[in-house]
Structure 1
Amino acid sequence: MKLERLFASFNISAMGLSAQRKRMTAIAENIANVETTRTEKGTPYKRKVVVMRASVEGNFANVLKKETMGLEVTNEKHISSNFVEFEDGRDAVRGVRTEVVEDNSPERLVYNPEHPDADENGYVHMPNVNIVVEMVDMISATRSYEANVTAFNASKNMAKDALEI
């Protein structure tokens, strides 16, 4: 068994923890700027969203082929035996890629003629941040972070138990 395979579950959990931490950071920035009507660009703050994508070499079929190579086949008709593994032994799945992007939903218009950033009709262009949505996203990110911590601890206990055999 390759040593990298032993620590694969640790790496998966660590990538999940990192992705959820980045998501929590974006949410905190959104909440902090819920009333920011003018940024350095002179426009209202734009909500930040973290987009997560699987970072995969090749396509899904190649990943599936690589993962099923280790399966024991009881009937040859269940899984075809012509699976091809990467020639150089690379892992097909590299984890999660995260990217912070701006949400392009429209700004909120609030009538407040005394505000210094009010337009000629008395409306202020407010950020497209909804505090309720941000709080729900924060709870979701927190739960996902906790799930990754639980998976990491389970992997750690399994590795420890395996060493005790």
Structure 2
Amino acid sequence: MSEFSKSLSVSSSGLQAQAARLRHLSENISNADTPGYRRKTISFETAFGAGDSVSRVETGRVNLDTTDLERIYDPAHPLSDDTGHYDGSNVDLLIELADAREAQRSYEANLKMFEQARKMSGSLMELLRR
């Protein structure tokens, strides 16, 4: 495998991992007001391709955040108990937005790396044609 294709492989795996992370972050944000919803987190793992020493990023398991759900007082809510409380979600929008910004920046960095490797490969091909 050439060095250019290795770098393209590494950056594309980073793009896929950050896209999965953004997908779960958007689910968390959209379900912030859903009663009983637990925040989803995703882990990243290092993976090696068959026969090469290039490490790639892969997404691991999706985990549910085990922090306590917010207790909301609303006696008129259909899910409220005898005390008038029900379980909200454990999604903090500030954390989700900060994580989304970080994932977006990581995605952009991987995209720039991919574009740079592609440009370098194209320049090399142009030199070889002369």
Is the pair's TM-score, using the shorter chain for normalization, greater than 0.5?
yes
Give the structure 2 partner of residue 49 of structure 1.
Answer: 41
What is the CA–CA distance in structure 2 between the aligned matches of 1:152 and 1:23, rounded to whole Å? 19
Give runs of ≥4 in structure 1 deviating > 4 Å.
Answer: none
Alignment partner for residue 128 of structure 1, among 90, 100, 104?
A: 90
The answer for unaligned runs of 5 or more in structure 1 is 38-43, 58-88
Give the structure 1 partner of residue 20 of structure 2.
Answer: 22
Give the structure 2 partner of residue 160 of structure 1.
Answer: 122
Count of residue pairs the alignment pairs up: 126
Among all aligned residue pairs of Structure 1 and Structure 2, give the percentage whose two residues are the same amino acid: 33
Give the structure 1 partner of residue 58 of structure 2.
Answer: 97
Counterpart code for 2:15: L
Q: TM-score by structure 2 length?
A: 0.88
What is the CA–CA distance in structure 2 between the aligned matches of 1:14 and 1:49, rounded to whole Å? 21
Return closer, same or farther for 1:56/1:28 CA change in 2, 3 Å cut-off: same
What is the CA–CA distance in structure 2 between the aligned matches of 1:106 and 1:49, rounded to whole Å? 15
What is the CA–CA distance in structure 2 between the aligned matches of 1:144 and 1:19, rounded to whole Å? 10
Give the structure 2 partner of residue 11 of structure 1.
Answer: 9
What is the CA–CA distance in structure 2 between the aligned matches of 1:119 and 1:94, rounded to whole Å? 51
The answer for unaligned runs of 5 or more in structure 2 is none
Q: TM-score by structure 1 length?
A: 0.71
